[in-house]
Structures are given as structure tokens and as C-alpha cells.
A and B are shown apart, each in its own frame.
Chain A
Amino acid sequence: MNLPYLSLLIFVPLAGAVLVLFLNEKQHATIRTVATFIAAIPVVLVGMMWAQWDYSAVGMQFTEYHEWIPSLGIAYRLGVDGMSFAMLALTAFIGLIAVIASYGIEKRVKDYYALLLLLLAGINGVFVALDYVLFYVFWELVLVPMYFLIGIWGGPRREYAAIKFFIYTMVGSVIMLVGILALYLQTGAQTFGILELQQLGAELPSNWQWGIFLAMFIGFAVKVPIVPLHTWLPDAHVEAPTPISVILAAVLLKMGTYGFLRISHPTFPEIAQSFAYVLAILGVINLIYGALAAMAQDDMKKLVAYSSVSHMGYTLLGLAAATVTAVNGVVYQMVSHGLISAMLFLMVGVIYDRTHTRDMRKLGGFYITMPIAGGILAFAAFANLGLPGLSGFIAEFFVLLGAYAVYPNLVYISLIGLVLTAAFNLWMLQKVLMGQPKLEWEGLPDINKRELITLVPLMALTLLFGLVPSILMNLINTPVSELVARLGGM
């Protein structure tokens, strides 16, 4: 079928958000059903797109173009390649799971779902936009609902966390905006087209390229997040309600890496090369610092948050290495971490909903108290530590394989991170699941059907992508090879 798929992916959730606002606030069940239905549409759309996907095509697919503000060169340009499509698919999938995982929310249900759907529309927009203005609008659009979702439905320190999140990413995106405007003005190209400016940006004088590259880099770095710009993340995660944490970790962080892949690196390949070693070192710092910080946490959710910081380190290292194997690993990691962090945050939610604590010193013995939940948490933790047969292994193995050819010494250092990652994951399992069951948690109900509906598909995909990586790799291989060629890598 020939539909404007990408526009639909933006406007269906957007229209859904409006639709939800017209529902009766009292009828929670109706709101949830409608929201679920709307969130399911992108999954169907993505499935239809996948069926029509041209694996060998170089460049963008499903492109759309409409004039918007011709005098400034702003247009409604949409399109996806394998990398952005992988992100779209992830967003659609995680979006639906987050909607289902939100059934437990009882406070201002209508507003909540409207904001959630708005958030999904914004994220989809970021991944399909091929025009800088459009990209920036969606980038900011993501910020606003996220702010409210944390600020209203969050935990005790939600206001602090929401403001911190907002300001941090705001600072980042404003600096990015400066870069975008400078790029537009300096090239004098009269276009905001991302692909068009890719060709022209590389022709600017070197100091301009550096300035614009760094401005964009900071904007994306906050989102990734790159240490030391990461402290908004643990706070946002700890305070955010479970489904929002899921979206934050699984999809939102990927906007930063996606920015590198789509914008800053292809636009300024020479600068990216000169900057690569710094980026690689930042990656290794993220990897090890995140793992060490995770190990120091008593709060289970913070542990998972720092684990994200650590895992995003792989994406930086792989991108810096700029070899086909490494960058394929990077995109693979973006998807894989999306699935695994979602599982972990959902499991933290499962335990928190029952015990009202995330302090691992108070938990313990949950293998016996909640055997199925315990098994799933163990699965997620092993996925997180990169057990072969699960998706995380493929991602990390290929990132490091590809990086080894360029930065063998940095890879040797990151091996420490691999051991530490195993350590904090197993330590978490030991503290939460093992030991004698505690009396105070006796009789807690094991995982319920709704929770299983959100978790089982994630587990299945983690396993599938771990055993049959070609499903995903074939999708991203062509654009990744193109990007690597542009970056002058191997």
C-alpha cells in the first residue's frame, strides 16, 4: 500500500492525543483502550513499512516533501533509511508497551495519555525529519511532554528532577540550535534540508565546521548522555513513573546517538575524524564510570539508570572507531539497549509497585517470593551484562570488534567495564533475588498478566535479535556502510 507512512507516524499519535482530551476524564478504562488502540497503529504501520522495505536501496525511503516556508528554505521533508527505521520500529514497539504499562496510573489519566501520545509523536518526528527546522521542532516537542510527565506523575522529588531534565536538555538543544542557525547562515544555501546541508557543510572553512560540530555535539551529548553531562538522567529516572522511565531509557537517549549518526558526523566527516579519539575516550569513560557508579547504588532504579550511562559508552566508542562492524554494533546497541533497559525498568516497577521500595538492602529472597518475576529479572540482568544468545552481546561484541581495529588499547581498557558490568548486574541479582525470603514481603503476588504482556515480547525480541541478528543487521548495514564510507572508515 502506498500511504504517507511517515506523516501518519507523526500525526496518528498527535491526533490521538487530541482525541484523548475529548474523552470523559472519569472513564479510565475507555481512555486506556483508546490510547492503546492509537499506540498500536504505529506498530502496524511500521510492520507494513518493513514488509515493503528495500534492503539494497541506498539513501532515504518513504520520502515526503511539501513546501512550508519557501522563502527561508524550510520544507516538510521526511524520509527514513535503515538506521532511522530501526529507531521508528523501536519507538512504535516501546510506545505500545509503555501505554500498556501505564494502566496502573490513576492520577489525571486523560492528561497523562494525551501527553504520552504527544511524546510519541515528537519522538517519531525526530527520527523521520530531514529538515533542520522540523527536526528542531520535534526535538523540542519531545521535551515538553516529558517535563510534565515527570513533573506531575513522578515520585517525591519530581519537581527537582523535571526541572533539571528540562534545563539540561534545553541548554543542550539551544546550543544545538545555534549550530543549526550558523550552518544555515554560513552556507548561505537557502535550505534547511539536512541532506542538502550535509554536502555543503563539509565545504565550510574548518573553524566554522569545528564550531558548528561542537555546538551540535553538546546538544546531542546531553541526550546520550555523555559523562559529565549525565546527572539529569539518574534523577529523571528515579522520579519518573515506570512507563516514562521505559521511554526515556529505551528511546529518548537514542535521540542523542541518532543525532551523531544522522547530523553531526555525516555533515562534518573531517571534523568527526579529528574528534574521533576524544569521542572514543569519552566512550570508555562513560563505559567504566557508569559501571562503577552503578555498582555504588543501593537504589535499584538508579543502578539501572547508571547502567544506561555505561551502555551508551559503547555507542560513542563504536562511532569514534567508524568501522562498519563498530557502527553496525552502535545501531544494534541502540535497539538492543532499548529492549533491555525497558525490561529492567519494567521489572523495577513490578517490584516497586508491590514493595514501595527500590532500596536493594531492604529487598531480598524474591526468587522465592516471586519466582516468575525473579526469573524475568535474572533474564534481563543477563541480557544487560551481554550474555551471548541475547541482543546485547551482538551489539557490544561488534562494537568492540570494530573498535579493536582502530583503538586496541582503549578496547583493552573497556574490558574492565565488561567485568564491572557483569559484577553490578550479578550483585543486583544477589541482593534482590537471593537469600532467605523476607517475612515482610511474604505473600506478595507474583507478576500479573498485564505485566507479562509488556515483558514477554521484550524478552522474545532480545532473544531473537541475539540469535538471528541478520533480521536487524540487514536493515542497518546499507546506511551504516554509507555513513562509514563518508567518515573515511573501514
Chain B
Amino acid sequence: MITYSWIIAVIPLLAFVLLLAFGNRMKERAAWIGVTALGLAFLMALKVLAEVLAGAQAAASFEWLKIGSYTIDMGFQVGALEASMMVVVTAVSLMVQLYSMGYMHGDPRFNRYYMTVNLFTTGMLGVVIADNFLLFLMSWEIMGLCSYLLISHYYEDLNNAKAGMKAFLTTRVGDVGMMAGIWLLFSQAGSFNFADIAVWVENASGSENIITLAALLLFAGAVGKSAQVPLHVWLPDAMAGPTPASALIHAATMVAAGVYLVAKSYFIFQASPDAMFVVAVIGALTAFLAATIATVQVDLKKVLAYSTVSQLGFMMLGLGVGGYTAALFHLITHAFFKALLFLGAGSVIHAVHTQNMHEMGGLFKKMKITGTTFIIGSLALAGIPPFAGFYSKDMILLEAYRYNEVLFWIGAAAAFMTAYYMTRAIILTFFGKPRDMEKYEHAHESPLNMSIPLMFLAIPATLLGYGMYRDYFVKSFITLPGLTHAYHSDFVMNMAISVAVAGIVVGFIVYGTNWVSKTAAIRNLKPLYVLLKHKYYFDELYNGVVVKGTVGISRLVGWFDKWIVDGLVNFVGWSTGQLSRLTRTFDTIVVDGAVNGTAALTMAAGNQVRKLQTGVVQSYMLVLFAGVVIGLIIFQLIGG
């Protein structure tokens, strides 16, 4: 089975093609194509994982292109990391497609949605199993396309269209950097293949600067895709898409691809301590900034979006401090509990038709399944043992502590806020008095095809962390040769649990009791509150400088082109016409002397032209032939 792992990536592509061909005619039954395909893919991925657990590995490639003397191969490789990721991706995609049958019911673009989700899944699986940067990049960009299409799914509203464009362009900024990194590596190693490049890195003593540059260029792509500061601005806006798509793409899988990229090219990063430091700092900064912004969001999906940005920051932090296993462990657990949270949020939105938490409240009574599973997901995210997120986050903090205490404390602060904002979200959504009675009255638990995926996802959100952590399994499974792990530290573990509990307690005090006046709090913390509400003014800065600047420059170029460049051309044309009239006689004499075989043809054309429109062309022609003669004379003079 494992030698045919690539089929798993092709299955959703087949589903895409089938949906393209027949989907519209099948109406909403089309969803079954996707669900069946992903069910099959998921089972195959499980089988592959089982084989990997038994010690198998596979890789294969074929010659794709010969260019010059280079041979470019396309191929896949499957080991522990790839097999685990395939299970994660197919599982989440399957759950999302199942869930979407209910959530997307009645959508006029139902089929387009399913097509895009399936194409996306192929792209993500391609990223997972690629054995070279080229296939990786191609799959990566396919994901970008699908992300764009899904964010702008409700394109009737131009704001959604703009959100899609913003996502594509922001990630594009990172992607072009990544491409440059790939070119740089190719120019050194002569190959796109991970293995070949690893060999080059190993033997490239004295090229530390090149390696650092390559690592940072690749990291630019990761920063864009994984929404790290300063390219994080697109992800919260990406929430404009259908919620299950957000769950799959903008929470569980695609946004984690940046983390995966760094992990896949870890051999490059490891060779450059400087690059590792940059990754760690960006990760920590992102984890912290996004968590602070999440505390003041009123849109349930936006809370989760900033939470995703923050958690991706944790993963980057983990990678940067050398915690390869920890980061990927967190990537896997996060995929499940974040998908669960997003689908739960979708279930709530489906019930109350609003995303604003101030219009919710008290929903737990009406939505027991959604509420319970959402709380499970939140506990996992907050890092409360024994839920999944605890183990992986603890491992990251442990690695950070070993690397640099400042980064550890930043991470711990972010973890505190994570617990706080999730408590806030749960209380505002599910508890307290309903703040919008009309919406509350209409609320109801979602249909089974939506709640079953929630229950399924709650299982890994609860058990997966301990399951993978037990006997230090994850440390020997998802690892690299020569990797050392931080030793267990009671201090770090106690700290991780304490900040999470503290976050929940503070959240409860602020939102679950009347002990703190929120208006007074906001009044006293006004500058901070405004700063957070404006998300540190990143969007204002980018809109004001980058977007407006580019549009302004483009207008300027457009004007310059029309009035200066073309104006000059028209002026030359006009003055030549004038000149030719003045010197017509002279020209005729000169030209008659010089015209030969070629001239006959062009003269004929000139005559035609004159008959058709105007006599000016002929005059031009005469000047031109004068030009030929003069040119020849000049040549003769130069050549001597």
C-alpha cells in the first residue's frame, strides 16, 4: 500500500474532475462524491500510517522534465511525518465535507464549493508527500488558489471578493520570496530535490551566508502562508468564506503548511542558527500579538482566526527553538481541535445567523452537542490536561525554555491569554442570559450530519495528545536523526498548567461574574484597548502605504505612459509629418534615387494606405527611406 501512497493525493483530484463533469447535474447529491472519495482516502491513509508504524517507508519518482543538462524529477516520499499528516488532512477534509452537506445546504454554488474543497485537498496532500521543492511549490499555490476561491465564495458582496484578493496577494508576497529561495538553492545544488539539497547543505562549509539567505527566503513563504507577523493580516479577513472551509483551510491544514515547509526544509534551517533565531522570534511575536488581539474580538470566527494565528506562532516558535517534534506534534493536535472549534462555531452561526457574540448567550441549553464539543476543543486549545493541546504546547514551551527564557515567557503569556479569550468566547456564546431573544428563540441544535463530525473530532481533541505523548512515542516517531530533546521540567509543566488555569479563572471572573465592570476596565485601559481593537494598526499601515502607494504609482505610470511616452511619439509623428510636407520635393528626389526592389513593395503599401485614409503615410515612408540612405552613409563613415 505505502508504495502507492500517491494515489491518496490523486483521489480528491478525481473527485474534483467528477464534480466538474457531473456535479451541477447532481445537485446536492454531488457532495457524496467528495465524501466517498475522502472516506476512501482516509482509510488508505490509515493503512499507510499503520505500515509506517510497522517500520515501512517509501519514495518514488519519475523523470518529469529535461532542461539543458538538468533532469527534473517529480516524486513523493512517505515517512512518519508524511503518513501522519496524510491522516490528519484526509480526516479533517472528510469531516468538513460531511459537515458541509448540512452547512452548505441550499447554497447556490454548492458544487463549486465541493469542487474547490476537493482540489484543495489534493494540493495539501501534494505538499505533504512532495519529495522536491517544485512539486511542493506547485501544490502550495494550488492551495492558495482554492483558498482564494473559498474566501470569495460569497462574491456578491464585494467585501468578500476583496478579502479573497487580500489573502492571495499577501501570501503571494511571501511566495515570491520562497520562489527566490528555491532558485537560490537550485543555483547551488542543481536540484529541487530535498535529498539532493540536503547533501549540498551538508557539504557546503563556508556557505553559511547563502544557507541563511535561502532559509530566510523560504521562511518568507511560510510567514505568508502561516499568517505570521507581519503577513498575518489576511487570515482574519479570510473568515469571509464559508465556515467549514475556514475550518479545513484557514485553521487545520493550509495555514499549517508554512510550518510544514519549515519542518520539511529543517536541514537548511538547522544549518543556520541565525535563521532559526528569526523563526523563533517571529513565532513568539506572532503567538503573543495575535493572542492579545483575540481578547477584544466580538466576532466568534475572528476570535478563532486570531487564535489560529497565535497557535501557528507557537508552532514556529517551537521550530525556531529546535523543537521539531514539539512543533509538528502541536500542528497535528491543533488541526483536530481547531477544526472542531471552527465547525462548532459554524454550528452556532448556522443556528443564530450571526457571528457577533454580543448577540448570542445562553445557547448551551439549546445546543448541547455543539456546546460540549466546543468546550472540549477550547480546553484542548487552552492547554488543560489531559486534553490534546496540553501535551503539545507543553513540549513547545519546554523547548523554548531550554533555548531562551525570554521567548518562553512570551509563550507563557500568550498561553495565558489563550485560556482567557476562549473562556470569554464560551461564556459569551453559550452561557449567561440570551442577549438577542429573537435569535435565541430560533436557535436549535444542528442536524446530525453537522453534529456527528463534531463528535468525531472531539475524540482526537481529547485523546490524541496523551496518545501520542505516552511512552514518549511522538519523540521517537516524528523526529529527525541527530535531534536532541529538552528534558522534562516540572517547572515548565507547572507553569503551563498554571497560566492556562489562571487564564480560565480570570476569564470567568471578568465575564462569568459581575465583579469587574467591563466599561470601567475599558475606560481605564483605553489606549491599550484602542490599540488592540485596531489590531496594532497593521491594516491601516498596509492600506495607507503599500496599497495606496502601489495604486498611486500605477496611476502615475499610466499617466506617464499616456501623456509623456505616447505624447512624445505623437509629437514626433506630427512634426515628422510637418517636416515631410516641407521637404517633399527633396525627399522624392532622394528616394527615387534610392528606392529599389524592397521599396516597390512598401510603396505599393503606401499607395494603398493613401487611398484608404490619408496621404500622410506616404510622406512618412519617404522620410523613412531618406533615413535608410542616411543610415547607410553613417555606417559607411563609421566603418571607414
Residue of B nearest to A481 (CB): B68
CB-CB contacts of A319-340 with B at 8 A, as 1s and 0s? 0000111001000000000000
Tell me what chain B mostly uses at the interface: helix, strand, loop, or mixed.
Answer: helix
CB-CB contacts of B31-70 with A at 8 A, as 1s and 0s? 0000000000000000000000000000000001111111
A153 in contact (CB, < 8 A) = no
A8 in contact (CB, < 8 A) = no
B519 in contact (CB, < 8 A) = no
CB-CB contacts of B558-578 with A at 8 A, as 1s and 0s? 110100011001000100000
**B615: shortest Cβ distance to chain A, in Å?**
11
Contacts of A151 in B (CB 8 A): 609, 612-613
A31 in contact (CB, < 8 A) = no
Among the listed B138, B624, B625, which residue makes an inter-chain contact with A388, where contact means beta carbons less than 8 Å apart?
A: B138
Are A140 and B554 in contact, with the CB atoms below 8 A? no
Are A208 and B639 in contact, with the CB atoms below 8 A? yes
Q: Which residues of chain B from 213 to 258 have a CB within 8 Å of any chain A CB?
A: none
A404 in contact (CB, < 8 A) = yes
A202 in contact (CB, < 8 A) = no
Q: Which residues of chain B from 187 to 203 have a CB within 8 Å of any chain A CB?
A: 187
Among the listed B145, B551, B557, B635, which residue makes an inter-chain contact with A293, where contact means beta carbons less than 8 Å apart?
A: B557
Contacts of B601 in A (CB 8 A): 137, 140-141
Are A367 and B155 in contact, with the CB atoms below 8 A? yes
Are A174 and B628 in contact, with the CB atoms below 8 A? yes
**A205: shortest Cβ distance to chain B, in Å?**
8
**B559: shortest Cβ distance to chain A, in Å?**
8
B454 in contact (CB, < 8 A) = no
A292 in contact (CB, < 8 A) = yes
Are A400 and B628 in contact, with the CB atoms below 8 A? no
Bound CA span A466–B64, Å: 12
Contacts of A405 in B (CB 8 A): 183, 187
CB contact under 8 A between A163 and B614, given known A147-B605, A207-B638, A293-B561: yes
Are B557 and A470 in contact, with the CB atoms below 8 A? no
CB-CB contacts of B609-631 with A at 8 A, as 1s and 0s? 10011101100110011011001
Contacts of A382 in B (CB 8 A): 145
Among the listed B169, B613, B628, which residue makes an inter-chain contact with A178, where contact means beta carbons less than 8 Å apart?
A: B628
**A365: shortest Cβ distance to chain B, in Å?**
8
**A402: shortest Cβ distance to chain B, in Å?**
9
Are A434 and B158 in contact, with the CB atoms below 8 A? yes
Contacts of B602 in A (CB 8 A): 140, 170
**A187: shortest Cβ distance to chain B, in Å?**
12
Contacts of B632 in A (CB 8 A): 178, 181-182
Are A171 and B137 in contact, with the CB atoms below 8 A? no
Are B180 and A412 in contact, with the CB atoms below 8 A? yes
Residue of B nearest to A332 (CB): B67
Are A325 and B67 in contact, with the CB atoms below 8 A? yes
Q: Which residues of chain B from 133 to 159 have a CB within 8 Å of any chain A CB?
A: 137-142, 145, 148, 152, 155-158
Are A398 and B172 in contact, with the CB atoms below 8 A? no
Bound CA span A400–B187, Å: 11
A192 in contact (CB, < 8 A) = no
Residue of A nearest to B567 (CB): A231
Are A477 and B161 in contact, with the CB atoms below 8 A? no
CB-CB contacts of B585-613 with A at 8 A, as 1s and 0s? 00000000000001001100100110011
Bound CA span A368–B565, Å: 39
Contacts of A73 in B (CB 8 A): none
A401 in contact (CB, < 8 A) = yes
Among the listed A208, A393, A400, A469, which residue makes an inter-chain contact with B638, where contact means beta carbons less than 8 Å apart?
A: A208
Q: Count chain A CB atoms within 10 A of each CB in B67, B158, B183 and give the residue with the most.
A: B67
CB contact under 8 A between A477 and B617, given known A147-B609, A293-B557, A411-B183: no
Bound CA span A404–B187, Å: 8
Bound CA span A458–B569, Å: 35
Bound CA span A151–B70, Å: 48
CB-CB contacts of A424-467 with B at 8 A, as 1s and 0s? 00110010011110000000000000000000000000000000
CB contact under 8 A between A400 and B142, given known A152-B612, A368-B156, A423-B550: no
Bound CA span A411–B157, Å: 37
Q: Which residues of chain B from 524 to 546 have a CB within 8 Å of any chain A CB?
A: none
B168 in contact (CB, < 8 A) = yes
Contacts of B65 in A (CB 8 A): 469-470, 473
Bound CA span A152–B608, Å: 12
Are A419 and B176 in contact, with the CB atoms below 8 A? yes
Are B155 and A167 in contact, with the CB atoms below 8 A? no
Are B612 and A295 in contact, with the CB atoms below 8 A? no
Q: Count chain B CB atoms within 10 A of each CB in A323, A387, A422 and give the residue with the most.
A: A422
Tell me what chain A mostly uses at the interface: helix, strand, loop, or mixed.
Answer: helix
B468 in contact (CB, < 8 A) = no
CB-CB contacts of A172-195 with B at 8 A, as 1s and 0s? 001101100110001000000000
Among the listed A162, A208, A426, which residue makes an inter-chain contact with B168, where contact means beta carbons less than 8 Å apart?
A: A426
Are B155 and A435 in contact, with the CB atoms below 8 A? yes
B368 in contact (CB, < 8 A) = no
Bound CA span A320–B121, Å: 40
Contacts of A141 in B (CB 8 A): 601
A88 in contact (CB, < 8 A) = no
Bound CA span A389–B186, Å: 20
Are A427 and B561 in contact, with the CB atoms below 8 A? no
Among the listed A163, A324, A397, A434, which residue makes an inter-chain contact with B161, where contact means beta carbons less than 8 Å apart?
A: A434
**B517: shortest Cβ distance to chain A, in Å?**
44
A143 in contact (CB, < 8 A) = yes
B14 in contact (CB, < 8 A) = no
Among the listed B69, B157, B561, B573, which residue makes an inter-chain contact with A164, where contact means beta carbons less than 8 Å apart?
A: B573
CB contact under 8 A between A289 and B183, given known A181-B632, A430-B158: no
B410 in contact (CB, < 8 A) = no
Are A430 and B173 in contact, with the CB atoms below 8 A? no
Contacts of A469 in B (CB 8 A): 64-65
Bound CA span A419–B180, Å: 13
Contacts of A18 in B (CB 8 A): none
B179 in contact (CB, < 8 A) = yes
Bound CA span A297–B161, Å: 20
Are A159 and B613 in contact, with the CB atoms below 8 A? yes
CB contact under 8 A between A400 and B141, given known A207-B639, A211-B635, A426-B165: no
**A379: shortest Cβ distance to chain B, in Å?**
11
CB contact under 8 A between A423 and B169, given known A469-B65, A481-B68: yes
Bound CA span A274–B561, Å: 29
Bound CA span A387–B144, Å: 9
Q: Which residues of chain A from 410 to 424 have a CB within 8 Å of any chain B CB?
A: 411-412, 415, 418-420, 422-423
Bound CA span A422–B176, Å: 11
A484 in contact (CB, < 8 A) = yes
**A282: shortest Cβ distance to chain B, in Å?**
14
Bound CA span A415–B612, Å: 46
Contacts of A292 in B (CB 8 A): 553-554, 557-558
Contacts of B187 in A (CB 8 A): 401, 404-405
Bound CA span A469–B135, Å: 13
Contacts of B566 in A (CB 8 A): 231
**B163: shortest Cβ distance to chain A, in Å?**
11
A-B contact pairs, 23 of them (CB 8 A): A140-B601, A171-B624, A174-B627, A178-B635, A227-B565, A228-B565, A393-B138, A400-B179, A401-B183, A404-B180, A405-B183, A415-B176, A419-B176, A422-B168, A422-B169, A423-B169, A427-B165, A435-B157, A436-B156, A474-B66, A477-B66, A477-B67, A480-B68
Given contacts A174-B624, A174-B625, A328-B67, 14 further A-B contacts (CB under 8 A): A147-B609, A163-B616, A164-B569, A208-B638, A292-B557, A293-B561, A400-B183, A404-B180, A405-B187, A423-B169, A426-B148, A426-B169, A477-B66, A477-B67
Residues of B in contact with A (beta carbons under 8 Å apart) = 64-70, 137-142, 145, 148, 152, 155-158, 161-162, 164-165, 168-169, 172-173, 176-177, 179-180, 182-184, 186-187, 550-551, 553-555, 557-559, 561, 565-566, 569, 573, 598, 601-602, 605, 608-609, 612-614, 616-617, 620-621, 624-625, 627-628, 631-632, 635, 638-639
In the A-B complex, the 5 residue pairs with the closest CB atoms: A296-B558, A324-B68, A388-B138, A295-B554, A404-B183
